[in-house]
Chain A
Amino acid sequence: MRHIISILLENEAGALSRVSGLFSARAYNIESLTVAPTEDPSMSRMTIVTTGSEDVIEQITKQLNKLVEVVKVVDLSEAEHIERELMLIKVRAGLKEREDMKRMADIFRGRVIDVSDNTYTIELTGDCAKLDAFIQALDAGAIIETVRTGASGIGRGNRVLRV
């Protein structure tokens, strides 16, 4: 099953490689991993999307907790949460396709953030399924380049992850 795991960790050189090294050493899956400092510059927040049986996910959270630089771990998918991913996608937008492409971006609440004679770069935010749906909706030949950040997640309401 798909799980989205949030981690607070010390913002130190090498902390990221300890986490990614753990996943490769123990043969856990990573679908996406995203990390950046928080409002406290000494701390980073990481979101990992992974898949595995309940046993494997339990081991993943335990092994993450064991890393010395990891402060807190929570499996967001255990309860209500929100996740968002940002995608920048460069598409063909010549005279012929321009109108359709703009309309498609509007339907998905995307924004065109860069324009050239024959391309649009569209910014699109949403959960992973929405971004997948946008890619599906486009003609494969229309896509020139895709950049996705991987999901970031946060608990709903009073559910918080902080020190």
Chain B
Amino acid sequence: MDRVKGLELTGAEIVVRCLQEEGVEFVFGYPGGAVLNIYDEIFKQDKVKHVLVRHEQGAAHAADGYSRASNKVGVCLVTSGPGVTNAVTGIATAYMDSIPMVILSGQVPTHAIGLDAFQEVDTVGVTRPCVKHNFLVKDIKDLAATIKKAFYLATSGRPGPVLVDIPKDITAAKHEFLYPESVAMRSYNPVVKGHAGQIKKAVQLLTEAKRPMIYTGGGVILSDAAPQLTEFVRLLGYPVTNTLMGLGAYPASDKQFLGMPGMHGTYEANMAMQNCDVLLAVGARFDDRVIGNPDHFAQNPRKIIHIDIDPSSISKRVKVDVPIVGHVPEVLEEMLKLLRAGSKRVAAADLAAWWKQIEEWRGKDCLKYDRNSEIIKPQFVIEKLWEATGGDAFVTSDVGQHQMWAAQFYRFDKPRRWINSGGLGTMGFGLPAAMGVQYANPGATVACVTGEASIQMCIQELSTCKQYRMPIKIVNLNNRYLGMVRQWQELDYGGRYSSRTWTRCLISSS
């Protein structure tokens, strides 16, 4: 790439040059007053392509989906005030699932900040609780270095969205452009390498286990550790479960895979989590949807090993016996080395007995449904989708029953194929995320499994799909209900179905 070092550029030019330097191919965004200088510069070049969404929430979800499906940084560009507030749901969605993303937002000119100017909002304040970090650029001298830092922070350590708020006068001011080669921050040095002693201890515990269980989450996907995990699990011959965020880390069609754990998981995965004597958690955080009440979970005695890049994830909800802070693929690689070097294996008889028990649990076939039903069952739809796509599609989903059916019945054999809002649970995520996924994988089949409620939350993006001719397949499991709400009302509210029916709402108002 030709570098115009030392050349005087406007702030807007610097922004676009920084994106080029970072190898950004696509920016998902929506123009407005405060970012017009930046849009003008995007117009003048063709390395960074802009995708015009219909609502800023869509821009954030699309950048997020792009990142999830590719492990490249998703970038979105929004204007000040409502542009940012509209994007907040998308930013919070990415934050809860630790998705590397950079959000560039316009701001009113520096001299107008704090004066309740038109389209002014305290962007740094509004987004602070739902970003890994954010910046307000107050001096053009800091612009390039700040953008560099944003990309570095987004992708390193535990990833997450980083926002850079850029006042309009900064985009017009001029400064010499120098893009830093690297970043050093005295206050930010994430641990990468796991502690050797702890790793040794973990391998020993695992090999001495009688009823071992491996539980992995989104961290394995995000760190691209699926190959190491798969080798590790196969070498040991242990049962494994992947959380909603971790599906695809281990092939779902394999015998050692017990399905998903937790509230919407399988009987066998939950029973194995409960009854194991050594539990290895990898890039997972013992979320309330996975283990329920931590006090109840802690009642069964078991040793827990927890590998995570984020020290604050360890012993947050569940006490851990062997904590290992580090980058998952590197830690697994270290553990594999010890295993290959011949650490003794679990006693074959114990493991066989444990598998026999698990097979009994599996024999319950807890996900069975009526395949001969006259009415097409949603589970059947997902199974057919799996068949039709050879199990090789990128599947995005919204939030609700359809999401759980997709997670349970589309057997994900590869990482980064299952794209959903696990942490925040954002209805409206599926369609715009699918747009990002499609841009990350132009030739691939992308399916958005949704419900008639969720799809309406970002339905405006259909127009974007049409404009850019995105061949996204939308599978709408229409049950004329807010299905998940109905399910809870049925179980917990004595069947008092408050505000969960579309048709009735529509009929009574017509």
Contacts and interface: CB of A to CB of B under 8 A. Distances in A.
Decide whether A and B are members of one complex. Answer: yes
Interface of A: 9-10, 13-14, 17-18, 21, 25, 55, 58-59, 62-63, 65-66, 68-71, 163
Contacts of B141: none
Contacts of B312: 59, 62-63, 65-66
Interface of B: 124-125, 128-129, 132-133, 136, 153, 185-188, 310-312, 315-316
10 contacts: A9-B187, A17-B125, A21-B129, A58-B315, A62-B311, A65-B311, A65-B312, A66-B311, A68-B132, A71-B187
B128 A18 contact: yes
A163 B189 CA distance: 13
A52 to B, nearest CB: 14
A31 to B, nearest CB: 22
B153 A68 contact: yes
Given A21-B128, A59-B312, A66-B311, 5 more contacts: A17-B128, A55-B315, A62-B311, A65-B312, A69-B187
A55 B317 CA distance: 9
Contacts of B129: 21, 25
A163 B136 CA distance: 26
B6 to A, nearest CB: 27
A9 B186 CA distance: 10
A163 B153 CA distance: 21
Pick the most buried of A17, A18, A68, A69: most chain B CB atoms within 10 A of its CB: A68
A74 to B, nearest CB: 15
Nearest to B316: A59
A14 B124 contact: yes
Given A18-B128, A66-B310, A10 B187 contact: yes
B175 to A, nearest CB: 20
Nearest to B311: A62
A10 B135 CA distance: 13
A137 B133 CA distance: 47
Contacts of B316: 59
A163 B185 CA distance: 12
Given A17-B128, A18-B128, A70 B187 contact: yes
B128 A68 contact: no
Contacts of A25: 129
Contacts of B136: 13-14
Given A14-B124, A68-B132, A68-B153, A163 B186 contact: yes
Contacts of A65: 311-312
Given A55-B315, A62-B311, A71 B125 contact: no
B239 to A, nearest CB: 30
Contacts of A14: 124, 128, 136
A59 B316 CA distance: 7
B125 A68 contact: no
A18 B315 CA distance: 23
A10 to B, nearest CB: 6
A25 B128 CA distance: 11
Given A18-B128, A21-B129, A25-B129, A68 B187 contact: yes
A11 to B, nearest CB: 11
Contacts of B188: 68
Contacts of A17: 125, 128
A50 B133 CA distance: 24
A69 B133 CA distance: 9
A17 B133 CA distance: 12
A104 B229 CA distance: 70
Contacts of A21: 128-129
A61 B225 CA distance: 29
Contacts of B124: 14
A123 B128 CA distance: 38
A66 B188 CA distance: 8
A15 B126 CA distance: 15
A59 B311 CA distance: 9
A18 B187 CA distance: 14
Nearest to A10: B187
A71 B186 CA distance: 7
B241 to A, nearest CB: 26
B133 A68 contact: yes
Contacts of A58: 315
Contacts of A70: 187
B481 to A, nearest CB: 34
A154 to B, nearest CB: 21
B165 to A, nearest CB: 11
A70 B310 CA distance: 15
A45 B205 CA distance: 42
Contacts of A71: 186-187
Nearest to A72: B187
Nearest to B157: A66
Nearest to B149: A68
A63 B312 CA distance: 6
A153 B245 CA distance: 43
A59 B318 CA distance: 12
Contacts of B132: 68
Nearest to A24: B129
A71 B189 CA distance: 9
Interface centre among A18, A21, A66, A71 (most CB of B within 10 A): A66
B26 to A, nearest CB: 26
A83 B94 CA distance: 41
Nearest to B319: A55
A114 B124 CA distance: 42
A18 B135 CA distance: 12
